[in-house]
Amino acid sequence: MTSLPIGPEIDPTPRPLPARVTIRGQHAVLEPLHRRHAAELWQAAQGADESWTYLGQGPFPTADAMARYVADFAAQHDPMVWAVRPVATGVVSGWLALMDIQPKHAAIELGNVWFAPRMQRTRAATEAIFLLLRLAADDLGYRRLVWKCNALNAPSKRAADRLGFTYEGRHRQHMVVKGRQRDTDWYSITETEWPRCRDALLAWLDASNFDADGTALRGLAELRAALP
């Protein structure tokens, strides 16, 4: 036995890899990304060039260019990508992924999120993220959920805060994206923090939290603070 400080013992069993299956929620259906989604995604992307600013891909100049990218993106296992089909519209309007999957360390990232403007700030968008976080934490047992983004990406940073991620710090000059330097901000939810975040998300998504116009009555931060 060492006299030096060491971390607590944990279950070292590697976590399962996520499966490429459809995940159904009340407001969104997540479908494993497939080249057949390309046409709907192309339509969703029209007039939304700015939405690609902080991503490594897009905007795409033609429908064929997007179709080629989607076909390649869908063939990967890490990131594993789902197309998002909001129930209200029935039309695929974005994608998101589980990535940097580390079964031996029970760590996984939710990232590569692209939502068309028509899906942003909707219950479908929040539920899509929730469904993958719940899959990773509750169904697969990952202990560390990661969110990271360009340090200049204010909307993504606000989303991380809203969802209950904790800011961990900044990797300076971390990447080169589209020929530009990127500093990356890192966030996480750990296994002890996830139950509160999960319960707040469930409470936010509940029908009782919305008025007749579909406006949320209480925000996620307020709901988390109210939990015991």
CATH number given to 23-226? 3.40.630.30
Instruction: Report the distance separating Cα 201 and Cα 140, nearest Å.
Output: 19
Q: How far is CA 193 from CA 6, 102, 147, 159, in A?
A: 22, 19, 14, 17
Q: How many residues does the chain have?
A: 228
| pLDDT per position as a tens digit, 114-158 | 999 999 999 999 999 999 999 999 999 999 999 999 999 999 999
Of all residues in the chain, what percent carry a pLDDT higher than 70? 100
Q: How far is CA 36 from CA 82, 96, 187, 213, in A?
A: 12, 16, 33, 34
Instruction: Report the distance separating Cα 73 and Cα 116, nearest Å.
Output: 17
Mean pLDDT of the chain: 97
pLDDT at residue 10 greater than cutoff 80 = yes
pLDDT at residue 1 greater than cutoff 80 = no
pLDDT at residue 94 greater than cutoff 90 = yes
